[in-house]
Structure 1
Amino acid sequence: MADLQDELRAAVEMGGLDRPDRQPVKEPEFVTDAGGEAPEVNGDVLRRTHALLAAHPVADGYNGLPQALRQLPWYDLELGEGAIDTDVPRLREGRVGAMFWSLRLPEGLAEEQAVGATLDLLDLVQTVVREYPESLRMAYNAAQTIDARNCGRVAVLLGPAEAGALGDSLGILRALHALGLRVLTLTGTSWAGGGNGLTRFGEEVVREMNRIGVLADLSGACDPTVRRVLTVSRAPVLCTRSAARALRPHPANLPDDLLTRLGATKGLCLVPLTAEQTGPSVRDVADHLDHVRALAGPECVGLSGTYDSGAAHPQDLPDASGYPHLIAELLHRGWSEPDLSLLTWGNVQRVLRAADFTAKAAQQRRGPSTASIAQLDG
Structure 2
Amino acid sequence: MADLQDELHTSTELGELDDLPESLPEPVPAEPYAPVAASGTTLLERAHAILDVYPVADGYSGLPWALRHLPWYDLELGESAVDTDVPRLREGHVGSLLWSLHLPEGLDGDRAVGATMEQLDLVKTVVRNHPEGLRLAHTAGQITDVRNCGRVSVLPGPAGAAALGDSLGILRSLHALGLRVFTLTGVTWASEAGLTRFGEEMLREMNRLGVVADLSGASPDTIRRVFAVSKAPVMCTRSAARALRPHPANLPDDLLAELGEAKGLCMVPLTAEQTGPTVRDVADHLDHVREVAGAECVGLSGTYDAGTAHPQELADASCYPHLIAELLRRGWSEADIALLTWGNFQRVLRGADFTAHAAQQRREPSTATIADLDG
TM-score normalised by structure 2 residue count: 0.90
Could you tell me which residue of structure 2 aligns to residue 359 of structure 1?
A: 356
DSSP 3-state at the match of 1:356: helix
Task: Determine the C-alpha separation between the residues in 2 that align with 1:181 and 1:236.
Answer: 17
Matching residue of 1:206: 203
Q: Which amino acid aligns with 2:218?
A: A
Please tell me the residue identity of whatever aligns with 1:344: T
Alpha-carbon distance, 1:103 to partner: 0.4
Other-structure match for 1:188: 186
Conserved in 2, the CA contact under 8 Å of 1:240 and 1:271?
Answer: yes
Query: Which residue pairs with 1:111 in the alignment?
Result: 109
Alignment partner for residue 335 of structure 2, among 334, 338, 358? 338
1:158-210 CA-partner distances (Å, limit 9, x unpaired): 100000000000000000000001000000001112x2111111111100000
CA contact (8 A) 2:35 2:43 kept: no
Is it true that 1:240 corresponds to 2:242 in the alignment? no
Q: CA deviation at 1:111?
A: 3.2
Q: How far off its partner does 1:40 sit? A: 4.6
Comparing 53-62 and 74-83, the one that deviates more: 74-83
Q: Tell me, in whole angstroms, the C-alpha distance in 2 between the residues paired with 1:275 and 1:349.
A: 27
Match for 2:87: what amino acid? Answer: P
> Larger RCO: Structure 1 or Structure 2 (Cα < 8 Å, ≥ 6 residues apart)?
2
Count of aligned positions = 345
Given candidates 132, 135, 147, the residue that maps to 2:133 is: 135
Deviation at 1:44, TM superposition (A): 2.4
Q: Please state how far the C-alpha of 1:39 moved relative to its aligned partner.
A: 7.8
Superposition deviation, residue 97 in structure 1: 0.3
Find the aligned partners of 2:128 and 2:81 in 1 and give their Cα distance.
21
Query: What is the match of residue 291 of structure 1?
Result: 288
Identity of aligned residues (%): 74
Q: Distance in 2 between matches of 1:303 and 1:199?
A: 31
Aligned partner (choices 245, 255, 258) of residue 258 of structure 1: 255
Partner of 2:94: 96
Q: Does 1:279 align with 2:276?
A: yes
| Partners of 2:227 and 2:262 within 8 A in 1 | yes
Give, in whole Å, the separation in 2 of the partners of 1:52 and 1:187: 36
**Offset from partner CA, 1:218-240 (integer Å, 9 cap, x none):** 00001111111111100000000
Match for residue 77 of structure 2 among 74, 79, 87:
79
How well do the aligned residues superpose, as a CA RMSD in angstroms?
Answer: 1.6
Distance 2:318 2:80 in 1: 13
**Is the Cα contact below 8 Å between 1:39 and 1:332 reproduced in 2?**
no
Q: Does 1:154 align with 2:148?
A: no
Q: Distance in 1 between matches of 2:267 and 2:44?
A: 24
CA contact (8 A) 1:218 1:239 kept: yes
Asked if 2 retains the 8 angstrom alpha-carbon contact of 1:31 and 1:39, the reply is no
SS of the equivalent of 2:300 reads: strand
Q: Which residue of 2 aligns with 1:173?
A: 171
Whether the 8 Å contact between 1:148 and 1:154 is mirrored in structure 2 is: yes
Which residue, out of 204, 212, 218, partners 2:215? Answer: 218
Partner Cα separation in structure 2 for residue 177 and residue 317 of structure 1 = 33
2:30 and 2:70 mapped to 1: Cα distance?
41
Does structure 1 retain, via aligned residues, the 8 Å contact 2:270–2:302? yes
- Structure 2 Cα separation of the partners of residues 212 and 165 of structure 1: 17
2:59 to 47, 58, 61: 61
- TM-superposed CA distance for 1:256, in Å, is 0.2
Aligned counterpart in structure 1 of residue 227 of structure 2, from 227, 230, 247: 230
Match of 1:4 in 2: none
Residue aligned with 2:313, SS = coil
SS at match of 1:277: coil
Where 2:97 maps in the other structure, the secondary structure is strand
Contact 1:62 1:305 in 2 (8 A): yes
Give the 5 Å matches for 1:1-16: none
TM-score, normalisation: structure 1:
0.89
Q: Would you identify which runs of 4 or more consecutive aligned residues in structure 1 move more than 3 Å?
A: 30-33, 38-43
Give the Cα separation in 1 of the matches to 2:313 and 2:44.
Answer: 15
Does the CA contact (< 8 Å) of 2:30 and 2:330 recur in 1? no
Q: Distance in 1 between matches of 2:106 and 2:168?
A: 24
- Structure 2: stretches of 5+ with no match in the other structure: 1-28
Q: Distance in 1 between matches of 2:44 and 2:242?
A: 31
Deviation at 1:43, TM superposition (A): 4.2
